[in-house]
Structure 1
Amino acid sequence: MRIDLHTHSTASDGTDTPAELVRNAAAAGLDVVALTDHDTTRGYAEAIAALPEGLTLVTGAELSCRIDGVSMHMLAYLFDPEEAELLAERELVRDDRVPRARGMVARLNELGVPVTWEQVMRIAGDGSVGRPHVATALVELGVVPTVSDAFTQDWLADGGRAHVEKHETDPFEAIRLVKAAGGVTVFAHPGASKRGHTVPESAIAEMAAAGLDGIEVDHMDHDDETRAGLRGLAAELGLLVTGSSDYHGSRKTVTLGEYRTDPEVYGEITRRATGAFPVPGTGGV
Structure 2
Amino acid sequence: MRIDLHTHSTASDGTDTPAALVRNAAAAGLDVVALTDHDTTRGHAEAVAALPEGLTLVTGAELSCRVGGISLHMLAYLFDPAEPALLAERELVRDDRVPRAQGMVAKLNALGVPVTWEQVRRIAGEGSVGRPHVATALVELGVVPTVDAAFTAEWLADGGRAHMAKHETDPFEAIRLVKAAGGVTVFAHPGASKRGRTVPEPVIAELAAAGLDGIEVDHMDHDPATRARLRGLARELGLLATGSSDYHGSRKTCLLGENVTDPEVYGEITRRATGAFPVPGTGGA
Q: Show CA shifts across 1:129-172 (max 9, x none).
A: 00000000000011111101111111111111110000000000
Task: Please state how far the C-alpha of 1:251 moved relative to its aligned partner.
Answer: 0.1
* 1:136-155 to 2 correspondences below 5 Å: 136-155=136-155
Partner of 2:165: 165
Structure 1 segments, 4+ long, off by >6 Å, are none
Partner of 2:265: 265
Task: Please state how far the C-alpha of 1:280 moved relative to its aligned partner.
Answer: 0.1
| Structure 1 stretches lacking a partner, 5+ long | none
Partner of 1:75: 75
Q: Show CA shifts across 1:205-255 (max 9, x none).
A: 000000000000100001111111101111100000000000000000000
Which SS does the other structure have where 1:242 is aligned?
strand
Task: Please state how far the C-alpha of 1:77 moved relative to its aligned partner.
Answer: 0.1
Partner of 2:284: 284
Partner of 2:201: 201
| Structure 2 stretches lacking a partner, 5+ long | none
2:59 is equivalent to residue 53 of structure 1: no
Counterpart code for 1:20 = A
C-alpha separation in 1, matches of 2:196 and 2:270: 32
* 1:1-285 to 2 correspondences below 5 Å: 1-285=1-285
Counterpart code for 1:129 = V
Aligned length: 285
Which SS does the other structure have where 1:22 is aligned?
helix
Identical amino acids, percent of aligned pairs:
88
Counterpart code for 1:34 = A
C-alpha separation in 1, matches of 2:158 and 2:74: 17
Which SS does the other structure have where 1:197 is aligned?
coil
Counterpart code for 2:32 = V
C-alpha separation in 1, matches of 2:230 and 2:112: 40
Counterpart code for 1:192 = A
Counterpart code for 1:144 = V
Q: TM-score, normalised by structure 1?
A: 1.00
Which SS does the other structure have where 2:71 is aligned?
strand
Q: TM-score, normalised by structure 2?
A: 1.00
Task: Please state how far the C-alpha of 1:281 moved relative to its aligned partner.
Answer: 0.1
- RMSD between superposed Cα atoms in Å: 0.4
Q: Show CA shifts across 1:57-110 (max 9, x none).
A: 000000000001100000000000000000000000000000000000011111
Which SS does the other structure have where 2:6 is aligned?
strand
C-alpha separation in 1, matches of 2:260 and 2:107: 38
C-alpha separation in 2, matches of 1:115 and 1:217: 36
C-alpha separation in 2, matches of 1:270 and 1:124: 32
Task: Please state how far the C-alpha of 1:118 moved relative to its aligned partner.
Answer: 0.4
Which SS does the other structure have where 1:119 is aligned?
helix
C-alpha separation in 1, matches of 2:159 and 2:176: 28
